[in-house]
Chain A
């Protein structure tokens, strides 16, 4: 018995040794192979053993084949276009823009795919995974603000040559908006659409609380006072209506810092998350969570959020900071209250400000149809496509990234929209930096911590500053 044990023990040792040797051999050959071009040979070998059963992989193969044929034979090329917008975007964009493009470019077919945003930014882990996996879409609708970090990572295609060849001028777009598409003097995207933030206020609730519904708060201090009177609890001690929650909807710490007169970068483009006014803004936000009890507030906004309806349109919220795009919801709802919109209040002694974000079209690194993808981007994100999209019947409240188009559309005639449009020329945009999205995530993280009473504003923001600098140092290595 013992003997036998000893023997198998020895044998298994020998076997492990053999295994290790074999692994090393494989590892070495694989490392050698990995630089080889994969597509052609492997595709073929796979085709032989799985042809009859695996229709999906043959599908993938046939699109690959048709695409390579496409560039040589001039047959139609299908470009894969990913977007993260739910709702009616797919239908509307196809009908108003893509169909026109396909008519003008019979050689290009556009396949639209919804890919939801995951993680802490407006982009998608899936998109990055697809780029890393060597199988990205050809075009993506992309949060402009992330261009800096993604370009720094090498995951976007440099469009500078295409832009200069096609005569597109930076002046065609708002200045801040264009700046967001440029990283280290190279253009990585064409801006498309923009937006900024204002304050929506519920006139009915203001009236009930004894305020003049036509005099929305001008300063944050006034806002605090009015909001306080609107908070109301129901029988179960939960809020039945809310005055104001600083972090609701577009009231990110990012937004509030600007409202408090803070800044995110200094004149020499250093990131300044712990600017003294930023600290005040975060402390102010944390003050709300303490005063009104964070779990009670969260339970209210969660319940609202999970219904899928913007809390403001339920009529149970006094004030909210939100974007011009929520004006689009008006077509959907019959509201039983009166409301208005105004610039966001600023801290005492400051002027109202806003910040603009928006979207853009990019070509992910590794696109197999760069030329066609560029044709598409140029069409949709320059004047023609922008106008087509902005003119769609239900576009009412979008602001395009091109001032000339906005003028042509006479957007200023819409009183609600004019509030936002007038803020556009002075609107801030977020700093373009490889650590841009990292900074955003950090602000979201400390916002979460601060409003949950975990840590003091100054300490948290000093930590953000430290983390951001470390991240930048890591990137520049």
Chain B
């Protein structure tokens, strides 16, 4: 039975009648397609395209909402490039992204490899690692604030026990971002689930073949599992990077919006939010939003381009 699509396409030479009937059906179906998609088309226009354009427009103005805006050309951008806090926030965000994202992939993949082993209590272990990712971010910060208290916290107590003098964590400039990365890693359970699904997608034949070749466990992991898991890693890399660049709730609730100490927790989106809603510099904040957009596009594009070098899709060699 030919698909309707294809049959509709080879109609150039057929008779008028058939053509009419077919275009009639196409018209009807197009109408339905359009109507079904209408909420989203309207949504795209109202909540994506319109704000995107307005945001570009605001970025060229000095606008506080309370008073009418004023067109200032590229001044917001030139001011931004001279704004030290802007650069600090970029540094902090990159620091976080470049350390957290790779780390979360390593931790996620390693955990998934272990959780994929056929051992007793597999289900319990999986649940164990997944539960923290269910804790709301606001709650996460409060729990960790308590755990990482340098004087009364559980973490430094444990470190103390194994003979390490614990760092001041969130209170210190050098340790605040590592603390944040630690907190974020606590919630990697979701990624583990994705990797596990990816692992289960790898056909058993590959392993059987390797077994015949006499490859040991690690060799099989290296030559079969990891390469075939790369599409999933690739996906997590993109999602993780975009998410990390937008890091907001954890540092904001942790420092009550201040980014202390010494701006070491001032992340890009936090500074954007502070500029916009803390100082009502909507133009300035919009300029920052567009720069963020560009950064996201560029990084995503880079990852996509790199894909050819390291991502292996099954069936393609």
Contacts and interface: CB of A to CB of B under 8 A. Distances in A.
A116 B165 CA distance: 35
8 contacts: A20-B49, A23-B45, A118-B258, A128-B279, A295-B167, A299-B168, A303-B152, A306-B152
Interface in A449-467: 449, 452, 454
Nearest to B171: A302
A133 to B, nearest CB: 8
For the complex of A and B, 9 pairs with smallest distance between CB atoms: A303-B151, A302-B171, A299-B168, A118-B257, A448-B262, A132-B65, A299-B150, A125-B278, A23-B49
A30 B50 contact: yes
Contacts of A155: 66, 280
A27 B150 contact: no
A238 interface: yes
A295 B53 contact: no
Contacts of A290: none
A125 B257 CA distance: 9
Contacts of A238: 165
Interface of A: 4, 19-20, 22-24, 26-27, 30, 116-120, 125, 128-129, 131-132, 153-155, 236-238, 294-296, 298-304, 306-307, 365, 445, 448-449, 452, 454
B260 A448 contact: yes
Nearest to B54: A27
A258 B171 CA distance: 27
Contacts of A237: 165
B54 A299 contact: no
Contacts of B165: 236-238
Contacts of A154: 64, 66-67
Given A118-B257, A298-B172, A153 B280 contact: yes
B171 A132 contact: no
Interface residues of B, number: 40
A409 B67 CA distance: 44
Contacts of B160: 236
B263 interface: yes
A153 B282 CA distance: 13
Interface in B22-57: 44-46, 49-50, 53-54
A119 B258 contact: yes
Contacts of A365: 66
Contacts of B53: 23-24, 27
Given A153-B64, A300-B151, 7 more contacts: A119-B256, A119-B278, A132-B65, A154-B64, A236-B160, A299-B171, A448-B263
Contacts of B293: none
Contacts of A26: 45-46, 50
Contacts of B261: 298, 448, 452
Nearest to A448: B262
Given A295-B174, A299-B151, A302-B168, A128 B54 contact: no
Given A23-B45, A30-B50, A299 B280 contact: no
A200 to B, nearest CB: 21
Most buried by B among A119, A303, A448: A119
Contacts of A24: 53
B208 to A, nearest CB: 36
A309 B206 CA distance: 62
Contacts of A452: 173, 261-262
Contacts of A306: 145-146, 149, 151-152
Nearest to A19: B49
Contact of A131 (B9, B49, B66): B66
Nearest to B64: A153
B274 A445 contact: no
Contacts of A132: 64-66, 277, 280
A120 B151 CA distance: 25
Contacts of A303: 149-152
Nearest to A438: B279
B111 interface: no
Interface in B167-224: 167-168, 170-174
A399 B269 CA distance: 41
A304 B171 contact: no
Contacts of A129: 277
B47 to A, nearest CB: 11
A304 B280 contact: no
B50 A304 contact: no
Given A128-B277, A154-B64, A302-B168, A454 B50 contact: no
Interface string B248-291: 00000000111011110000000001100111100000000000
Nearest to B252: A118
B78 to A, nearest CB: 12
B128 to A, nearest CB: 28
B277 A23 contact: no
A373 B151 CA distance: 46
A20 to B, nearest CB: 8
Nearest to A120: B258
Nearest to B160: A236
Contact of B256 (A116, A153, A298, A454): A116
A343 to B, nearest CB: 29
A36 B274 CA distance: 28
B110 to A, nearest CB: 32
B165 to A, nearest CB: 6
A154 B151 CA distance: 45
Contacts of B256: 116-119
B172 A299 contact: yes
B274 A119 contact: yes
B170 A302 contact: yes
A257 B258 CA distance: 23
Most buried by B among A30, A153, A299, A301: A299
B45 A19 contact: yes
Contacts of B262: 445, 448-449, 452, 454
Nearest to B173: A452
B49 A298 contact: no
Most buried by A among B64, B152, B165, B258: B258
B162 to A, nearest CB: 13
B257 A119 contact: yes
A426 to B, nearest CB: 32
A238 B150 CA distance: 10
A292 to B, nearest CB: 14
